[in-house]
Chains A and B, each alone.
Chain A
């Protein structure tokens, strides 16, 4: 039967395409359904293109400080269109890469909108508006999420942007309002500021990066403000109105005090909504709570044979979480031993300048859960390599269980910390104690030495502070 598969995956983002490749490796005849571009948001409109943009911002920043390195450069300038073009090009390359990987693994791909039609059945409406039925005993839903639409903050894609619009503007705005200071908001604020846009970053909660450790939030706030980014915590945006080439903004600065301000553009980055609406969920028996599909650690839903992974099964909305779930899900389907458990360790990375990376719990969570803990903090100023490279802006903070020596959390700000966080993730996953970390030799000179020092500092043994 031509339209029969062992596994159908709806969505080809970092959850879906990874699950499909693993399934094929394990011998499952697999079909992937994609309504847009292979690779999903991550590759096309998320992680990757933004990293390309931020690299341009970083290079621009380095050039602006090039004198410090003893190099003089007359009149460096940037070409906005080229910056955007480069970012798009990288996404395209990667999307092609996914296409190649799926082909290599003999995975069929159908372009169109996939929808459940009862257990074991998927109807795909293709681009020619034909509906075709596909059948498989296992169906993985990996349709991801889209920007949240909030009343009063409706996006018009002209002056009021979502993250997609913010990635491809024809030209730079003069002033920019960024609504929501999570990872996306903070990255855009950093990016536009580095190219000279006057940025205002607004957060409704007490701190920017509200899910990060307080030390991280306050460090980034101080740093951003030094760079000229205006930060408004505890501020609600009541209404956005697009007028000609401007946005009229009503914001509640404090209780009952509303002010009206104008910006050239506004980015709405207030969270995301899972794509579960047009998925034929009602044709099967799947539990949905708080707008997300309820699953166990293997992505199993309440309907046998139907699985959900990635953004549609809940926070954190991260590509690497989706990929991990995709692999656990498929390995469980074929009974391949998989070592997933309830507490999967998910690091978080933010690619602003400076970068932020964290894993495990924050100090605030340790206090709230009454965990006995000890803290180690090491400033990057004490790190030789950071000094040598001219970027010593940041710190490394570690949190240990005081009694067992378990590494509970690590929070970092500074150069390439997004690369370094995996050292701590691995330590947590392998259940290293402080002794294992202390007796590990970190090469000199590297920024990673500050990870060692932070652990030592937690036990009052740091050498370079």
Chain B
């Protein structure tokens, strides 16, 4: 049996994936466990492992192909006894499916963009040359053929030149091969450029002019517009947080905690511990929040359309900023495990998040979130709930502030926290109870031992 290899669904939010690269070539023998390809999901890059044995007979997408719908056929593995007919049958079977899967895609992206993506990919691989060379030229040729057609039509039907030009070729950009390459090298969208060559063809001079102008503008104000394709991670962040803000009735509670004791306790915890194993304030906050949720289980829940789920354990999602986005890896059963264990897990998560190597199992689930902007010197802020969770704790920076204790003003280290709660499942009083519990633990760290 010829074996279909499909675009896997690697996380519940994944609807489409990008084919980062093929790790095997067509014709390679594949054994179970071999890595066939790398797939880029909305969150990370994953490897596709072979389950069956065979020869990689066909690949349906090229390296760098984007927006391949989940469950689309991406390759065919040919078994020992398979005939070419079998492979063909399989291709026919999946052909319809792939079309359905990709139909929405087509509507989104117009052809121009595809061409451009392709060109960018080609130029990136320039040193490899010949293959790429051929590809680039195919594109150039297609275009020049189109130009010829355009010209012929003009000749045949002089009167309608204008309508033909405006309707049919509205999106087409005519540019010299050199101008195209310079645009790619300088990351310029040809759409933004006025062509001054014959029939508005974009030539090198136009690119130079554009670059000079941009440089001038940059020198004056450092401001200019550019369009960058939305990454799949950005798209997920946008979708989920828009959903959250639009659908979840957020309410906000603020509290200030004195962290003098906590800082001292941390210092003691870290004595004689080498630099890379030191426990951070954030690690302690994770533990404190987990213990508080354990004490106030009414807050450890999720709104569902029919019922409310109360969680058995406390799984804390911790926001980790990466270039161009963020991940929320989950510390599971944080109420049970030791701070040192939390610390170790977090260090590993942060490292892997930055490398783009988190697995879906690392960031899926979670009952409650923490977002800490203390290191960015933010006093306090209002965070958006990560659905379907019931709340998120926004943690600010520790600052020395005057505090009234009894009749005296004292300077103490103060931490501002703000809870965002889903009012559908938590009421103000429950939120307050949770925050006070948290404050109590933070201010009296010994309670974490109880």
Report the separation of the CA atoms of residues A430 and B144 in the bound assembly, to the nearest whole angstrom.
Answer: 12
From known contacts A339-B197, A341-B205, A431-B203, infer whether A436 and B181 are also in contact, taking CB-CB under 8 Å: no
For residue B137, CB closer than 8 A to chain A, the reply is: yes
**B71-103 Cβ-contact flags toward A at 8 Å (1 or 0):** 000000000000000000000000000000000
CB-CB under 8 A from B133, the residues of chain A are: 435, 438-439
- Provide the residues of chain B in CB contact with A245, threshold 8 Å: none
User: When each residue 19-39 of chain B gets 1 if its CB lies under 8 Å from chain A and 0 otherwise, what string results?
Assistant: 000000000000000000000
List B135-183 residues whose CB lies under 8 Å from chain A: 136-137, 140, 176-179, 181-182
Q: A339 and B198: CB pair below 8 A?
A: yes
A436 near B177 with CB under 8 A, answer yes
Chain A residues in 8 Å Cβ range of B134: 439
Which of B133, B177, B181 neighbours the largest number of chain A CB atoms within 10 Å of its CB?
A: B177
A406 at the interface (CB under 8 A from B): yes
| Nearest Cβ on chain B to A459's Cβ, whole angstroms | 7
A405 CB within 8 Å of chain B: yes
Cβ of A433 under 8 Å from chain B = yes
For window 119-138 of B, CB contacts with A under 8 Å fall at 129, 133-134, 136-137
In the complex, what residues of B have CB within 8 A of residue A436's CB?
A: 137, 140, 177
Q: Is A68 an interface residue (CB 8 A)?
A: no
A432 CB contacts on chain B under 8 angstroms: 176-178
Beta-carbon contact of B176 and A403 below 8 Å: no
Cβ-closest chain A residue relative to B198: A339
A403 touches B177 (CB 8 A): no
Chain A CB within 8 A of B9 CB: no
Rounded to whole Å, the gap between the CB of A166 and the closest CB of chain B is: 42
What 1/0 mask marks residues of chain B from 180 to 193 whose CB sits below 8 Å from any chain A CB?
01100100000000
Determine the chain A residues whose CB is within 8 A of the CB of B197 once the complex forms. Answer: 339
**Residue B204 at the A interface, CB < 8 A?**
yes
- Complex interface: chain A residues within 8 A of B179 (CB): 431
The size class of the interface chain A forms with chain B is 10 to 19
Q: How far is the CA of A459 from the CA of B127 in the complex (A)?
A: 11
Chain A residue nearest to B182 in the complex (CB): A404
Q: Are B185 and A431 in contact (CB under 8 A)?
A: no
Kindly provide the distance from the CB of B375 to the nearest chain A CB, expressed in whole angstroms: 40
Chain B residues, Cβ within 8 Å of A430? 176-177
Give the dominant DSSP class at B's interface: helix
Interface 0/1 of A407-440, CB less than 8 Å to B: 0000000000000000000000011110110110
- Cα distance, A430 to B106, chains bound together (Å): 33
Contact call A405/B178, Cβ cutoff below 8 A? yes
A339 to B185 alpha-carbon distance, docked (Å):
26
Centre residue among A343, A438, A439 by max chain B CB count within 10 A: A439
For the complex, give the distance between the alpha carbons of A404 and B136 in Å.
Answer: 14
Give CA–CA (A368, B355) in the complex, Å. Answer: 45
Residue in chain B with minimal CB distance to A339: B198
Bound form: Cα–Cα A432–B144 in Å: 13
Count, A-B residue pairs, CB within 8 A: 40
CA A403 to CA B203, docked complex, whole Å: 17
Q: How far is the CA of A283 from the CA of B40 in the complex (A)?
A: 76
A459 near B137 (CB under 8 angstroms)?
no
Q: Are A431 and B136 in contact (CB under 8 A)?
A: no
Kindly provide the distance from the CB of B212 to the nearest chain A CB, expressed in whole angstroms: 14
Determine the interface band of chain B, counting residues with CB < 8 A from chain A: 10 to 19
- Max chain A Cβ within 10 angstroms of own Cβ: one of B133, B178, B203: B178
Closest to A434 in B: B133
**A435-465 interface (Cβ within 8 A of B):** 435-436, 438-439, 459
Contact with B177, one of A341, A343, A435 (Cβ below 8 angstroms): A435
List of A residues within 8 angstroms of B198 by Cβ? 339
Complex CA gap A459/B136 in Å reads 17
Q: Tell me the nearest residue of chain A to B202, going by C-beta.
A: A431
Contact in complex: A403, B185 (CB < 8 Å) = yes
A404 touches B137 (CB 8 A): no
Known: A339-B198, A404-B185. A435 touches B203 (CB 8 A): no
Which chain B residues lie closer than 8 Å to A439 at the CB level? 133-134, 137
- Identify B136's interface contact among A339, A403, A435, CB under 8 A: A435
What is the chain A residue whose CB lies nearest that of B175? A431
B414-430 near A? 1/0 per residue, CB < 8 Å = 00000000000000000
Is B178's CB under 8 angstroms from A433's CB?
yes
Nearest B residue to A438 via CB reads B133
A431 with B129: CB separation less than 8 A: no
Contact: B129 with A404, CB < 8 Å?
Answer: no
In the complex formed, the residue of A with least CB distance to B203 is: A431
Q: Which residue of B lies closest to A440 (CB)?
A: B137
Q: Which residues of B contact A403 (CB under 8 A)?
A: 185
Identity of the chain B residue whose Cβ is nearest the Cβ of A337 in the assembled complex: B198
State whether B205 touches A404 (Cβ < 8 A). Answer: no
Q: Is the CB of B177 within 8 A of A404?
A: no
Query: Which of B136, B137, B178 makes the CB contact (< 8 A) with A406?
Result: B178
State A404–B176 Cα separation when bound (angstroms): 13
A433 is contacted by which of B181, B203, B205 (Cβ under 8 Å)?
Answer: B181
Contacts of B203 in A (CB 8 A): 431
* Chain A: CB-nearest residue to B141: A439
CB of B200 to closest CB in A, whole Å: 11
- The distance from the CB of B177 to the nearest CB of chain A, in whole angstroms, is 5
8 Å CB contacts to A: which residues of B396-433?
Answer: none
A405 to B136: give the CA distance in the assembly, Å. 13
CB atoms of B137 and A431 under 8 A apart: no
The contact string, 1 if C-beta is below 8 Å from chain B, for chain A 172-196, is 0000000000000000000000000
With A and B bound together, what is the CA distance between A56 and B179 in angstroms? Answer: 45
**Chain B residues in 8 Å Cβ range of A433:** 177-178, 181
Q: In the complex, A430 Cα to B133 Cα: how many Å? A: 18
A437 to chain B, nearest CB (A): 10
Tell me which residues across on chain A come within 8 A of B204, comparing CB atoms: 406, 431
C-alpha gap A278/B179 in the complex (Å): 46
Cα–Cα, bound, A436→B176 (Å): 11
Interface flags, B192-212, vs A, CB<8A=1, else 0: 000011100001110000000
CA–CA, A439 and B176, complex, Å: 16
Question: Which of A341, A343, A405, A435 is in CB contact (< 8 Å) with B137?
Answer: A435
Contacts of B176 in A (CB 8 A): 430-432
CA distance A406 to B177 in the complex (A): 9
Give the shortest distance, in Å, between B141 (CB) and chain A (any CB): 9
Interface bits A367-383 vs B (CB < 8 Å: 1, else 0):
00000000000000000
Instruction: Report Cα–Cα, A343/B205, bound state, in Å.
Output: 10
In contact, A404 and B140 (Cβ under 8 angstroms):
no
* B residues near A431, Cβ cutoff 8 Å: 176-179, 203-204
List residues of A (34-57) whose CB comes within 8 Å of B's CBs: none
Query: Could you tell me the distance between the alpha carbons of A168 and B239 in the complex, rounded to whole angstroms?
Result: 87
Most buried by B among A403, A431, A438, A439: A431
Q: Pick from B181, B185, B197, B205 the residue with the most CB of A within 10 Å.
A: B181
Could you tell me the distance between the alpha carbons of A339 and B196 in the complex, rounded to whole angstroms? Answer: 8
B129 pairs with A459, CB closer than 8 A: yes
Nearest chain B residue, comparing its CB with the CB of A405: B181
Considering the chains assembled together, what is the distance between the CA atoms of A404 and B185 in angstroms? 8
Q: 10 pairs across A/B with beta carbons < 8 Å?
A: A341-B205, A343-B205, A405-B178, A406-B178, A430-B176, A430-B177, A432-B177, A433-B181, A435-B133, A439-B134
Residues of chain A whose beta carbon lies under 8 Å from any beta carbon of chain B: 339, 341, 343, 403-406, 430-433, 435-436, 438-439, 459
Q: A430-B176, A438-B133, A459-B129 are in contact. List 4 more A-B contacts (CB 8 A).
A: A430-B177, A431-B178, A432-B176, A432-B177
